[in-house]
Amino acid sequence: MVENIKLKCDKCSGNLSGSNNSSVFFCLSCARGCDISGKARVCYDMKFAIPEKKQDFPMEYFPFWHIKCDYIVENTSDMTKLEGEAEFYVPAFFIKNINYFGDIGLYYLQKDIKPEYGEKLDIPLFPADRGLGDALKYPYIYLMKEYSNKIGAEFLNIEVKNTGAGLILIPFYKKDHSYFDSFLFWKYPSGALI
Ligand SMILES: [Zn+2]
């Protein structure tokens, strides 16, 4: 659960909420998310994902970064270049033992998530300890992994340019001592999400 912190929303002047380690603070009255992890504060109108099937368990929103980027992959052995664009969902929180749980954000790409802008937040929100700067490492790591198999890591030079990022709230359900997300229905012990 997030608590009130003495920061004001840039849009409605409401109090922003977050936890001690938060990188992103939320305005519950106008659904704005403010990333304070960089040099300047950057705020976003947040989007909400709506689950296909509603479950009868208490719901909590988990924040994700939705990142769109252009990339250039350079093969330094034959000097060829390849350009592309990609999008990623990166959790704005941390997951312990990510290997065990798999890469939730990548699997969301295969789902038909149609987030919409929302007006206010009336269900609990999980704190966001990961700012955009840290989330942006992820597209690079992913592309590195993908192309080092094809080209060889020693001949690989990758540039990633962020062309658009936003905050999306994905509903999770809480059941006993676990959370499960509303798109993949993967189950996480509460202690694994931080
Ligand atoms: Zn606000």
Given this model, what pLDDT does residue 56 score?
A: 92
Per-residue pLDDT at 119: 82
Entry pTM: 0.90
State the Cα torsion 67-194-47-107 to the nearest 10°: 50
| Burial tier of 121 (Cβ tally within 10 Å: 0-12, 13-18, 19+) | buried
- pLDDT for 90: 93
- How many Å lie between the centroid of ligand 1 and the Cα of residue 120? 9
Do 193 and 64 contact (CB within 8 A), yes or no?
A: no
Residue-level pLDDT at 88: 92
Q: Which residues surround ligand 1, an ion (CB under 5 A)?
A: 9, 11-12, 14, 27, 30, 32
Give the other-Cβ count within 10 Å of 41's Cβ.
13
Q: Is the dihedral of CA 36, 37, 42, 46 positive or negative?
A: negative
Q: How high is the pLDDT of residue 5?
A: 59
Q: Return the SS3 of 85.
A: strand
Predicted pLDDT of residue 194: 83
- Based on the number of CB atoms within 10 Å of its own CB, is 45 exposed (0-12), middle (13-18) or buried (19 or more)? middle
Triad 44, 64, 168: Cα angle to 5°: 50
CB 11 within 8 A of CB 131: no
3-state secondary structure of 65: strand
Query: 159 alpha carbon to ligand 1 midpoint, in Å?
Result: 35
State which residues form the domain around 69: 3-192
Say how far apart CA 172 and CA 164 lie, in whole Å: 25
Ligand 1 centre distance from Cα of residue 3 (Å)? 15
pLDDT attached to residue 154: 92
Check residue 125 and give its pLDDT.
94
Q: What is the total count of domains within the chain? A: 1
Q: What is the pLDDT of residues 11-65, one digit of tens each?
A: 999 999 999 889 999 999 999 999 999 999 999 999 999 887 789 999 999 999 9
Residues of the chain with pLDDT under 70: 1-6, 98-102
Looking at residue 107, what is its pLDDT? 85
